[in-house]
Structure 1
Amino acid sequence: MQESASTAIDMYRLIALVNRVREDDALAAELDAVWKRPDLQQMIDERTRVVVDADLQALQHTVNALNVASGGGPQPYASVPSTRKAISIYADGIFDLMHSGHFNAIRQARAMGDRLVVGVVSDEEALQTKGIRPIYTEQERGELVSGCKWVDDVMVGTPYAVDMAFLEKTGCDYVAHGDDFAPCADGSDCYAEPRAAGRLKIFKRTEGISTTRLVSRLLMAAENMKEESPTLEPPTSPTTSTHYVDWSLNSDRASKQSLMSTRRLMQFINQGRKPQPGDTIVYVDGSFDIFHVGHLRFLQQAKATHGTFLLVGLYDDSTVAAVKGVGFPVMNLLERTLNVLAMKVVDEVLIGAPRKVSEYLIRTYDIHVVVGGSILDELSLGKQPGTDTDDPYAVAKKLGIYRTIDMRCGGEEGDEPILTFRDIIRRIVDNRMALLSSIGQRQKKEDGHYAKTTGPAATHKVQEL
């Protein structure tokens, strides 16, 4: 305890010294001049400056806590001065069936600069390059990307290959991409020109999540649904779905999927926001499995219409399985948590939320409004008759705090509902043959990248930001 107190005092003295320097105009000017020295700028890049700035700010938070505990007030923090111009980053992708790997790539790209422009590859370009049309349209993919909290601007319908002429058109200084090779339809490097010009930044591709595996899981979900939903007719022609799905789910890489750490969770939480006095806390819940534009619109409308602080409850995997049936959830709880945390409209996530909204839950989180949708995306797909018959929102309705959002496109009776999970399954069924033929190619590419970047034989490693 004595050693801990001594360390805290030393930290306090260090911050106090820094603050005294900044309060002295002459010393502050001298410090600023040192930071502007060209030779120092060459030795200490901006990334180091940011790290130093973050360390000092963390120390300042500690000092503020000590000041408050002793009856004083917090001291303002002045960041380490920067003289460089703002850096704009361009990052692109197809971003179909968006998952935490996509969002982590966007997060890392944003960390490389001060502003991030994300390009969403057009449907036609994706078809020509990948040989398959995306499940989500380019407009839906663009809307999802724009909802991500690390994105400043979005360009929809961009080319798959990025040359210098296009990079200049974006107004960005650099293009960022993962450490996996991105080939054009002819096998050439999609980023050859920016790479040659020294304007390509590389971040680490996210392990533990794969579009290929998600497609495999969705194909299995479609198989499970064909007897449970007569409106979803599978193709009658024989396929090799079992072979490809087994390969994806049971290969050596399958054991390396869905990796999660507290560090990754904290990266997505970032600094977060706590409810403030005067906030109206809105609670919504669900599985949010395979996060789609219908989810995003629902969350945005719930917050915009009913409150100022959005708390999202995510059911655990066993609850989703009980509600939806065999093969669900497609994404596990932690994967779904990261997807929801990546949305700028979300303030906080309740991980493993109960199916029924109890009075205890409402009081504990000081919830003012509970919101549900008129078109439920959580409808049972394989639930046994007679199970889960109680209204999960009965308490909220009794308290008079339950509200419903109309989930139809125009909000009028007869209008088509916005995208739901069932719509995704229908698209999967319609594109099943093309998806199956692409799984093998995707799997080989992912296995090749994994062999290249991990393990004792790895020849190319990139540190994650």
Structure 2
Amino acid sequence: MEFESNDSNWDGVYYYPQLFGGVMLTAAVLGLSTSYFGGTMGFPTLPYTLPYLNNLQKKKREKRKVRVYMDGCFDLMHYGHANALRQAKALGDELVVGLVSDEEIVLNKGPPVLSMEERLALVSGLKWVDEVIADAPYAITEDFMNRLFNEHKIDYIIHGDDPCLLPDGSDAYALAKKVGRYKQIKRTEGVSSTDIVGRILAFIEDKNACDGSQESSRNDEPNGMNKSVEKSKHASNFLPTSRRIVQFSNAKGPGPNARVVYIDGAFDLFHAGHVEILKSARQLGDFLLVGIYTDQIVSEQRGPHFPLMHLHERSLSVLACRYVDEVIIGAPWEITKDMITTFNISLVVHGTVCESKSSVNGQADPYSVPKNMGIFRMLESPKDITTTSVAQRIIANHEIYEKRNAKKEASEKKFYEERKYISGD
């Protein structure tokens, strides 16, 4: 991709270097002094002209890469964030992401759920991101915009088609639009950080969903989910398509002699702990295959209020990770010999920090086959963060998030009411 330039000098030399060189050579053969041309017409002498023409041809071949910039809080990272960054990357050659600081988020939106360190791990772990600018400002000021253009060589600033207003009601990207360096992408429908917080807050209203007194009613509901959870799960409006999965996929399989590493899990509410364990797993082989449990399996293992994200949402979040090569959408609980043979799995790994795979209630060890084959390995989890611990942060400050969500839900409702055709991204 080439950055547009207004510089028209030497255009003829760019496109017709042989013709120009031929003219100069003909002049020399006819005995016309190149020094005459240099003195009267402003042309350089012939010995210096040909190397210069070669440099111009080389510059033409080595077009400068277009660098695009997109910023955000990226709190509670989900596939909507990943899809936005995928679209942004498609508008250039290199994607630079500005990560808004914790302090700026507190001032403009309230406390973030994830720390800067955790958000940085998530954003850096996305396959479309080339660079990250930490502690970016919430509002793009003229000084910061000039820094982007001059220091970071940014060509365009990108944002979604949903409005982004500052506390005073002004457009956060007005300056970029004014100088003609702004491009827009389509917002991904069906998910938002506000929506995810809403799903977590939903089961607070019915605390009995987590009580032992509700144990009997869990088994009466389809898939072991009670009505309050069914209600909260309907908050997801995501309609998965094969095209979206292809957009996120690496579209390639392992080589015949590749060392395939397999790791499975719920990967619910994709967080920094997931990124780090996937990175560690990928380092053990040539190809990382990730199994994503069905919603029913996750609910059976963790309780009726889980998973917070349904199967296809979780699959896209994992596929967006740069360390993942392929996923099994709806992986089985137990790893069988047939599965190991089918996918040519060389090593099965499991993290030390996990909320599933416990042998409670007399369940058989789901890793017994790879263990007996000598291809199983416990992998030290780099972080102790879990889906439940992230959810607990929101629950502990539920009053703050309820107020913030009430304000955000109004603006999101207006956006969806006014939205137009969006699937052509």
Q: TM-score range by the shorter chain?
A: 0.7 to 0.9
Change (3 A) 1:92 1:464: farther
Partner of 1:47: none
Identify which of 358, 361, 364 aligns with 2:342: 364
5+ residue gaps, structure 1: 1-31, 35-80, 229-243, 410-416, 455-460
Counterpart check, 1:189 vs 2:171: yes
Q: Report the CA distance between 1:463 and its aligned residue.
A: 7.0
Identify which of 261, 276, 284 aligns with 2:263: 284
Aligned partner letter, 1:117: V
Aligned length: 349
Aligned partner letter, 1:307: G
CA–CA distance in structure 2, aligned partners of residues 166 and 337 of structure 1: 36
Q: How does 1:146-185 map to 2 (within 5 A)?
A: 146-170=124-148, 171=152, 172-185=154-167
Partner of 2:73: 94
> TM-score, normalization: structure 2?
0.76
Counterpart check, 1:349 vs 2:327: yes
5+ residue gaps, structure 2: 1-13, 17-59, 213-227
Instruction: String of CA shifts for 1:126-145, please: whole Å, max 9, x gaps.
Output: 11111x21111111101110
Instruction: String of CA shifts for 1:346-376, please: whole Å, max 9, x gaps.
Output: 0111111000011111111110100001121
Counterpart check, 1:394 vs 2:365: no
CA–CA distance in structure 1, aligned partners of residues 247 and 264 of structure 2: 23
Instruction: String of CA shifts for 1:182-227, please: whole Å, max 9, x gaps.
Output: 1112221111110111111000011121222211212235546754
Question: % of aligned pairs identical?
Answer: 41
Partner of 1:231: none
CA–CA distance in structure 2, aligned partners of residues 246 and 394 of structure 1: 34
Aligned partner letter, 1:449: F
Partner of 1:441: 407
> TM-score, normalization: structure 1?
0.70
Of the two, which has the highest radius of gyration?
Answer: 2
- Superposed CA RMSD in Å reads 2.7
Partner of 2:88: 109
Q: Report the CA distance between 1:90 and its aligned residue.
A: 0.4
CA–CA distance in structure 2, aligned partners of residues 181 and 248 of structure 1: 26
Contact 1:203–1:462 (8 Å) recurs in 2: no
Q: How does 1:225-236 map to 2 (within 5 A)?
A: 227=211
Counterpart check, 1:307 vs 2:282: no
Counterpart check, 1:260 vs 2:240: yes
Q: Report the CA distance between 1:33 and its aligned residue.
A: 5.0
Change (3 A) 1:426 1:156: same
Contact 1:96–1:141 (8 Å) recurs in 2: yes
Instruction: String of CA shifts for 1:276-313, please: whole Å, max 9, x gaps.
Output: 13321100000100000001110111121x21210000
Partner of 2:118: 140
Change (3 A) 1:278 1:419: same
CA–CA distance in structure 2, aligned partners of residues 379 and 217 of structure 1: 24
Change (3 A) 1:187 1:378: farther
Q: Report the CA distance between 1:430 and its aligned residue.
A: 1.8
Aligned partner letter, 1:189: D
Aligned partner letter, 1:353: A
Change (3 A) 1:245 1:216: farther
Aligned partner letter, 2:369: V
Aligned partner letter, 1:350: I
Change (3 A) 1:226 1:248: closer
Partner of 2:417: 451
Q: Report the CA distance between 1:268 and its aligned residue.
A: 0.7
Partner of 1:420: 386
Counterpart check, 1:295 vs 2:288: no
Instruction: String of CA shifts for 1:44-69, please: whole Å, max 9, x gaps.
Output: xxxxxxxxxxxxxxxxxxxxxxxxxx
CA–CA distance in structure 2, aligned partners of residues 434 and 446 of structure 1: 18
Partner of 1:23: none
Contact 1:216–1:245 (8 Å) recurs in 2: no
Q: Report the CA distance between 1:84 and its aligned residue.
A: 5.0
CA–CA distance in structure 2, aligned partners of residues 294 and 319 of structure 1: 21
Q: Report the CA distance between 1:163 and its aligned residue.
A: 2.7
Q: Report the CA distance between 1:117 and its aligned residue.
A: 0.2
Contact 1:216–1:249 (8 Å) recurs in 2: no
Moved more, 210-219 or 314-323: 210-219
CA–CA distance in structure 1, aligned partners of residues 229 and 304 of structure 2: 16
CA–CA distance in structure 1, aligned partners of residues 108 and 229 of structure 2: 23
Counterpart check, 1:340 vs 2:318: yes
Partner of 1:272: 251
Instruction: String of CA shifts for 1:26-52, please: whole Å, max 9, x gaps.
Output: xxxxxx959xxxxxxxxxxxxxxxxxx
Change (3 A) 1:462 1:314: closer
Aligned partner letter, 1:141: R
Moved more, 417-426 or 90-99: 417-426
Change (3 A) 1:85 1:462: farther
